[in-house]
Chains A and B, each alone.
Chain A
Amino acid sequence: MIVVEDIHVTFGRGTPLEKHALRGVDLTIPEGEFVTVIGSNGAGKSTFLGSLAGDVLAEQGRISIDGTDVTRWDTPRRAGLVARVFQDPMAGSCATLTIEENMALAAARGRRRGLAPALGGDRRKGFRDCIAALGLGLENRLHDRMGLLSGGQRQAVSLLMATLAGSKILLLDEHTAALDPATADFVLDLTRRIVRDNRLTTLMVTHSMRQALDYGDRTLMLHEGRVVLDVAGEERTGLDVPHLLALFARQRGGAEISDDSLLIG
């Protein structure tokens, strides 16, 4: 369960480039809900996700996760509660470490790291079983460096890594945007499966309205740092991309959609 109360974030305060990226976001996301987040460039989607992960600290407002106030916690401290997959497949893992080393890193998320061997005991076997379930044949490549994997494979492993330490919340920041369509579909299906099996409270930022409606239980639209649309349940089931576009256009003061990337997919 995530509770966000009136958070504000400003970048470059007091400079000519000052940007009020979040202007009072209020939100309650119940445990296990899968929320998709859309919005045009600069709407504050990534800032919003960053503020949940701890990369960006809100200057005003309050964020709590599972009843714990985490507003002032930095990223490493929140990592025990929050797992993430980034847009850039390179960003979510260590290219020069092996697959099993990356998994060991993720498995220790939110725990104190001591001097015990990272890959000791039966951990290797556990990782092998885990990664075999992806069906990508990676179980025989645990000693390979992460950098040798394709973008799709890396995102799939990143998703798997997100589940290793039992976090409550999964943040996906356009994690399929850098992939080709077929691979993106595979990763999205995997996402759906992993979210369901682990009952993760999930926020998925996407550029595709289609994806936003097809996946998850609830859709948010951000515009200029505010939540301008929040649909779930039957209202959402009845929505189609053209409706969403119309709603979106209305929010932008009737202007035509100029951001092509929103229409794709």
Chain B
Amino acid sequence: MTEIALFGAIEIGLVYALVAIGVYLSFRILDFPDLTVDGSFPLGAAVCAVLLIAGVNPWLASLAAALAGAAAGLVTATLNVRFKILHLLASILTMIALFSVNLRVMGRPNVALLMQDTVLTPFYGLGIPDHIVRPLVVGIIVAAVVLLLARFLGSEFGLAMRATGVNARMARAQGVDTDAHVYAGIALSNALAGLAGALFAQTNGFADVTTGIGTIVVGLAAVIVGETVLPARALALALVGCVAGSILYRLAVQLALSADAIGLQASDLNLVTAVLVAVALILPRLKAKASRSTKAAR
């Protein structure tokens, strides 16, 4: 793997780390399997790209992308909480609706960002090679998100959100408005996906409606890899695990694709991802089974 490919993998890993943290929020903390990110990630990219072209400040554009993601999350949460549609189905409905919305936002299937200023622009002239600046800036943003989120989840409100996911009945008996926490959690999760989309557009120089496909699987893969390499109980560490998992996942994919001996090519990415996630999901079960049978043998 070349140096540029290595830093490229780290960079994209850091961008998707935000998706991973969002997925961790929905799947793990709220126990709400939410596929909306497949739509909110390209929505964030689209909103950000369109605003950048309109000359909006890149930080504001990124914020707007996060808010758009949050709005998408609220739609899913409303379908589920208010109208009792199964969470998985609710998120699929939002996701496919967003495909059309994203086309509307951009006015065409993809938008190129060529001369526009991005959040990265001020850092390009500092004498650090571009391929290192990008992961550095994204890394700082991700670190800030992790710190803020760890603090949030340790707050009274955040604790109530965690209780909502673990034991909603108990949470309600403790006076927690569980519905409100589902709204807030799913909105936050998709805000992070939207922000990731914005960073994706800015680091890659384009927004495309098809970039959303499989976002959820990539995010889930990162969460699972993170849990495997960093099986932490502490929340802050679990969030760091999501980031680490996302980077490791990208490195693994990069390795698999660049190892000529295996004969894989870039178009095999989705297959490699699916296999990786399946293996990561199956391994803990096999391990548990193995330890059960050794116990039984004693």
Contact = CB atoms under 8 A, between A and B. Distances in A.
B159 A114 contact: no
Contacts of A110: 175
Nearest to B160: A113
A92 B169 CA distance: 8
Interface residues of A, number: 33
Contacts of B155: 113-118
Contact of B178 (A76, A94, A96, A114): A76
B139 interface: no
B177 interface: yes
B10 to A, nearest CB: 31
A118 B158 contact: yes
Pick from B152, B166, B171 the residue with the most CB of A within 10 Å.
B166
Nearest to B176: A76
Contact of A79 (B158, B159, B167, B172): B172
A33 interface: no
A91 to B, nearest CB: 6
Given A106-B174, A109-B174, A110-B175, A94 B162 contact: yes
Interface in A66-96: 74-77, 79-80, 84, 86, 90-96
Interface in A124-175: 145
Given A75-B172, A91-B167, A113 B157 contact: yes
A104 interface: yes
B233 interface: yes
B175 A80 contact: yes
B173 interface: yes
A193 interface: no
B27 to A, nearest CB: 14
Interface in B133-176: 151-152, 154-160, 162-163, 166-167, 169-176
A94 B160 contact: no
Identify whether the interface residues of A are mostly helix, strand, loop, or mixed.
loop
A111 B163 contact: no
Contact of A91 (B159, B162, B169): B169
Given A94-B163, A95-B166, A115 B172 contact: no
Nearest to B155: A115
A119 B169 CA distance: 22
A94 B170 contact: yes
B242 to A, nearest CB: 17
Interface in B170-215: 170-178
Contacts of B172: 74-76, 79
A119 B155 CA distance: 8
A118 B175 contact: no
Contacts of A77: 175
Nearest to A108: B156
Given A76-B176, A79-B174, A118-B154, A108 B167 contact: no
A97 interface: yes
Given A76-B178, A94-B162, A118 B170 contact: no
Nearest 8 Cβ contacts at the A-B interface: A79-B175, A113-B156, A94-B166, A118-B159, A75-B172, A115-B155, A109-B175, A118-B156
8 contacts: A79-B174, A105-B174, A113-B156, A113-B159, A114-B155, A114-B156, A118-B158, A118-B159
Interface of A: 53, 74-77, 79-80, 84, 86, 90-97, 101, 104-106, 108-111, 113-119, 145
Given A105-B160, A114-B157, 9 more contacts: A77-B175, A80-B175, A86-B173, A108-B160, A113-B155, A113-B156, A114-B155, A115-B158, A145-B233
